[in-house]
A = this chain, B = another copy of it.
Amino acid sequence: MQQIANAQVEDVAQYMQTLGQQARTASAALRRVDSGRKNAALEAIVARLDAARPALAQANQQDLQCGRDNGLSEALLDRLALTPERIDAMIAGVRQVAALADPVGQIDGLGYRPSGIQVGQMRVPLGVVGIIYESRPNVTVEAASLCLKSSNACILRGGSEAAASNAAIADCIRLGLEDAGLPAAAVQVVATTDRAAVGALITMPQFVDVIVPRGGKSLIARVANEATVPVIKHLDGICHVYIDAAADIDKAVAIADNAKTQRYSPCNTMETLLVHIDVAAQVLPRLAAIYRDKGVEMRGCSRTQEWIGDAVEASEADWTTEYLAPILAIRVIDDFDQAVDHINTHGSQHTDAIVTENLTLARRFLAEVDSSSVIVNASTRFADGFEYGLGAEIGISTNKLHARGPVGLEGLTTRKYVVFGDGHVRG
């Protein structure tokens, strides 16, 4: 495999074409690799990472120094840091992926047709996956593990701030793949920080089957706009909790508290609380006391202000803002239909919950709210790959097609039809 240090990459377009060709070739080879060998490669990568702790620390120090020199914020420097504990977590993550069931080759629905042929659908890798991410270097290992386990070749492009750390991790992965006799090009880390590499990666449909951008909204929007390769997007999470007239009030308070305050920055955190007018008097004062205590700014409609005197008046923009911060929009609504309409109009089709003891309305909420996760009587914070049992996730898709919601190994595969006959011809 061609390994080029940053300084040597002169023709970025040509370099990316080479990575693409190598990935395509590796992808074909991966179709012949069984589960045992994939797991052996993951274990070999673990061993290489464990043995390279001093080298990883040194490379990470270089990135951190560079970051400080360039005036990165403390928050970004923290995301960048590879502490011994984070290396432990990285290694544990690879082992978790190795322990997952292999989706590749599973055949569903195999059955006979009147013509005598036997038809089913087999789960197969997508081929080559391109992943574009920001500063956290542990994503390099996470993404590589998930792609390898699902028999996809991958091309990883990390943030320039983590270039040295990612290169050191890439060395471990390459050596681990070689230890296990797999093609090193199964996982390629882009060795140039030139931004043109991203432009090339997302416009090579002949070599790349899907792009997964992980990072801020502007990165994802840029990739989605410019890509000629399909993109599994992870855009806004404007998540709602709707407390219905038939809600159990204690459950409602616990869920609306947890959905907002357990963590403020994740995409599955509640941004707007909808409360049915019939229970507003019971729910809003109790919740307001909790939010006040935790320093959550409340922005409410005029009726909200009747029960929460210190709520700021919400503007139209509040219904469509992903705060990712201790701020909450609150609206008192008149009936179930208005709640569903609010969510489908202002939400981002990410994750929305209802709190109700009414079975009919719970069933209607599941059918009528058009979001990737719809939840009855539980916190929106559950919407992620680990909580759903996927083991690990490459992202949470806001696409409707292919994969919707948390994307694990299955989302990195597709299904083809397999047909068995015994000389059958069509009449």
Contacts and interface: CB of A to CB of B under 8 A. Distances in A.
A195 interface: no
Given A404-B416, A422-B251, A423-B251, A28 B389 contact: no
Given A210-B401, A367-B31, A367-B105, A420 B381 contact: no
Contacts of A257: 425
A105 B368 CA distance: 11
A370 B28 CA distance: 9
A387 interface: yes
Given A230-B401, A401-B230, A417-B372, A424 B382 contact: yes
A140 interface: no
Contact of A419 (B28, B31, B376): B376
Main secondary structure of the interface of A (DSSP, over half): mixed
A377 B417 contact: no
A373 B416 contact: yes
Contacts of A262: 425-426
A425 B254 contact: yes
Contacts of A425: 254-255, 257-259, 262, 378-379, 381
Interface in A387-405: 387-389, 399-402, 404-405
Interface in A1-37: 28, 31-32
A272 interface: no
- Count this chain's copies in the assembly: 2
Given A416-B374, A425-B381, A368 B402 contact: no
A124 B367 CA distance: 8
A415 interface: yes
A241 B127 CA distance: 23
Interface string A227-270: 00010000000000000000010110011011100100000000
- Among A254, A364, A382, chain B packs the most CB atoms within 10 A around the CB of A382
Given A401-B414, A425-B381, A124 B387 contact: no
A229 to B, nearest CB: 10
B31 A370 contact: yes
A204 interface: no
A130 B424 CA distance: 36
A204 B372 CA distance: 21
Interface string A113-154: 101010100101011000000000000000000000000000
Contacts of A404: 414-417
Given A127-B400, A250-B423, A416 B382 contact: no
Given A377-B424, A419-B376, A400 B209 contact: yes
B371 A416 contact: yes
Given A368-B31, A387-B426, A419 B113 contact: no
Given A373-B418, A381-B425, 10 more contacts: A122-B374, A210-B400, A230-B400, A372-B417, A374-B419, A378-B420, A378-B425, A379-B424, A381-B426, A401-B414
